[in-house]
Amino acid sequence: MSDLVKYSDGKIDTSMDLLRLYLDRYRGEITLACSFSIEDTVLIDMIMKIDPKTEIFTIDTGRLPEETYRIWEKIEERYKIKITPYFPNMVDVESMIARIGINGFYYSLQNRKECCRVRKIEPLKRALKNKKAWICGLRKEQGITRENIETVEQDENGVLKINPLADWTFEDLLEYSNCHDLPLNELYQKGYTSIGCEPCTRVPTDPDDPRSGRWWWEDSLHKECGLHIKEKL
């Protein structure tokens, strides 16, 4: 572990201290948003060392890759926990598909944002109801839409967003994951560098942009689903 701390230039200690602070301050009113990326498996491992009773939730859009469901099961088995799923409203999904089609998100930015709203943003609002803070795996290195994130922000609804891994590199994540023998989403072994819905995610088209495989048909400035609109504190 000492070698790992040295490798990460103190990032592990800093992230753990941040987690301890907010997990204690908002005990019972804080939750981790998990999409089963390497960032999330690292955060889950850290949180389990601090407060294993912390709530962890995921948004199941209904279009996730099978590999994501497999690691979901592995994490629950490893830590003896249950991750709370939030699903999109059935009526909203049916109405949207009737309007734009089953794969209408490919044909306009407006359609894609509507799909993200129905399948992600609305479930997130339910997940964060009565919460004062949520923990995310956002990192500055992930692309131009995230290069200015802060370790502590405020989302559009006034809920604190904690980003303990903001300054971590992908190499830091791999080092931690390997050191602690964490389960890894199989999509990484297939060349993916960002994990999302199956029809909207593929192997990155730009090796210097880890999120270039997300919504690859769109301009890089639009590569967000709307979950991470922020306000600086």
Is the Cβ–Cβ distance between 213 and 192 less than 8 Å? yes
Mark whether 197 is an active-site residue: no
The string over 56-79, giving b where at least 16 C-beta atoms fall within 10 Å of a residue's C-beta and e elsewhere, is: bbbbbbebbbebbeebbebbeeee
Burial class (CB in 10 A: 0-12, 13-18, 19+), 48: middle
Short-list 110, 158, 165, 103, CA closest to 135: 165
Length of the chain: 233
List of residues 6+ apart from 138 with CB closer than 8 A? 39, 146, 149, 163, 165, 166, 228
For 97, 98, 107, 116, 224, the CA distances from 113, given in Å and listed in that order, are 13, 16, 11, 5, 9
**Residue of 34, 115, 116, 225 marked active site:** 225
At 172 the three-state DSSP class reads helix
Q: Which residues are CB-neighbours of 28 under 8 A, at least 6 positions away? A: none
The residues annotated with a catalytic role in the active site are 225
